[in-house]
């Protein structure tokens, strides 16, 4: 967007120079040089405008979930009574750049982390209590485990299965 504004300002300056050129001593070379600069600035501004439109369209499609690989929202909630459990033991999502939305309304601190079948941690949220937190994770089709990484919580059964298609 900054490029577009700068190019528009350049275009206006070039037009002003052509319009103010007035004096009788200018040569046709000087005039054609400024005209060429104006034409080049117009083309550059048009290209920048098209690029901005394309980026806006991509962002709109991604926000609507219509782009391949754009992922989805994964909603995970800790047991509101404070038990060491999630409200669901199995969740599913689509492959891509997924947003993990974690809600913990209890005063007991929890987080949600995701690991692949090999035990490699791929990401997750910060530890929170009485609030919500989001994180983004890139997921490919497969089976993952989500769990709370607060010491002792996973061992007490605070984990579940995430299936990504």
Tens of pLDDT, residues 93-126: 999 999 999 999 999 999 999 999 999 999 999 9
pLDDT band (50, 70, 90) for residue 35? low
Residue 148 pLDDT more than 60?
yes
Question: Cβ(4)–Cβ(45) under 8 Å?
Answer: yes
Check residue 39 and give its pLDDT: 74
Nearest Cα to Cα of residue 74 among 142, 133, 156: 133
Residue 89 tokens, joined: 């033991």
Query: What is the mean pLDDT of the segment spanning 67-73?
Result: 67
Residue 67 pLDDT more than 50?
no
Q: Say how far apart CA 140 and CA 138 lie, in whole Å.
A: 7
pLDDT band (50, 70, 90) for residue 89? very high
pLDDT band (50, 70, 90) for residue 159? very high
Q: Which residues pair with 78 in a beta bridge?
A: 86
Check residue 154 and give its pLDDT: 98
Of the chain, the percentage scoring pLDDT greater than 70 comes to: 59
């Amino acid at each position: 967007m900054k490029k577009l504004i700068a190019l528009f300002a350049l275009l206006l300056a070039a037009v002003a120079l052509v319009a103010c050129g007035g004096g009788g001593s200018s040569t046709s070379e000087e005039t054609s040089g400024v005209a060429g600069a104006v034409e080049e600035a117009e083309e550059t501004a048009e290209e920048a405008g098209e690029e901005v439109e394309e980026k806006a369209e991509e962002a709109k499609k991604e926000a609507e979930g219509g782009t391949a690989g754009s992922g989805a929202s994964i909603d995970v909630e800790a047991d509101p009574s404070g038990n060491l459990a999630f409200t669901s033991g199995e969740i599913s999502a689509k492959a891509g750049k997924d947003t993990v939305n974690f809600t913990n309304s209890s005063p007991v601190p929890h987080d949600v982390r995701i690991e692949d079948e090999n035990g490699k941690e791929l990401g997750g949220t910060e530890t929170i209590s009485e609030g919500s937190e989001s994180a983004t994770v890139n997921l490919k089709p497969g089976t993952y485990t989500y769990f709370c990484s607060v010491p002792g919580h996973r061992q007490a059964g605070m984990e579940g299965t995430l299936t990504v298609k």
